Amino acid sequence: MKLLGICGSPRKGNTEWMLTKLLESAHEAGAETELILLRQKDIKLCRGCLTCEVGRDRKPGVCVIKDDMAPLLPKMLAADGIVFGTPVYFYLLSALLKNFMDRTVPIWPLLKGKAAAGVAVAEDGIGQAITNLRTYTDLCQMPWVGEVTALAKGPNDVASNDTATAALVALGRRLAEPSARS
């Protein structure tokens, strides 16, 4: 199993810690793992031109914007499972992660069947953030394996949450199982 984590926080904080913990667990259970930190990438806003859509030949489209998104699309296609992580902003997913999703137009129909999971962290309430992630993964026809949510404010606060830690380890193990993929 190849597992890709996508971190949609602009800071080195709770989302990154949660994804790291989950991926460590999956790695220990035998998965090949990689974490992409969107905060370190130059990924410009989708221009909405739709010239990149997957064609009838089912080949990936090509985006007109030349930036750090291009090498991430083949990584998504090579993965068996993708874990999306977001801080909760105004009870929604972060703009950083949403723009990343928008930039997957060149490949999104090709994600069908890959396992999907999510982590979300908020100061006082998760709101629609997991629903937002699932709206994307359902549209892509990626089977949802599970999510972990936690409440934390300061960038390291979630590390002391034993319940969340145990849930991350368990979800990582589940994602490492080949049966996680449909």
Ligand X SMILES: Cc1cc2nc3c(=O)[nH]c(=O)nc-3n(C[C@H](O)[C@H](O)[C@H](O)COP(=O)(O)O)c2cc1C
Minimum distance between the CB of residue 141 and ligand X, rounded to whole angstroms?
Answer: 28
- The burial class, CB within 10 Å (0-12 / 13-18 / 19+), for 128 is middle
77 close to 142: Cβ distance less than 8 angstroms: no
> Strand 144-151's sheet: what is its strand order?
32-37, 2-7, 81-87, 115-122, 144-151
Name the residues that contact ligand X, by CB under 6 A. 9, 11, 13-15, 87-91, 121-125, 127, 152-153, 155
Name the residue nearer to ligand X (CB basis): 109 or 155. 155
**Closest CB 60 distance from ligand X, rounded Å:** 30
Nearer residue to ligand X within complex by CB, 91 or 144 = 91
CB-wise, 18 or 52, nearer to ligand X? 18
Q: Where are the beta strands (DSSP E) in 109-164?
A: 115-122, 144-151
Q: Which residue has the tokens 């034993």?
A: 162
C-beta nearest to ligand X: residue: 13
Helix (H, G, I), strand (E, B) or coil at 120: strand
Cβ 120 to ligand X shortest distance, Å: 8
C-beta of 71 vs 125, nearer to ligand X? 125
Q: Which lies closer to ligand X via its Cβ, residue 72 or residue 122? A: 122
CB of 121 to ligand X, least distance (A): 5
Least Å from the CB of residue 92 to ligand X: 8
Torsion angle of alpha carbons 134, 178, 31, 170, nearest 10°? 60
Extract the tokens encoding 67.
Answer: 């930036």
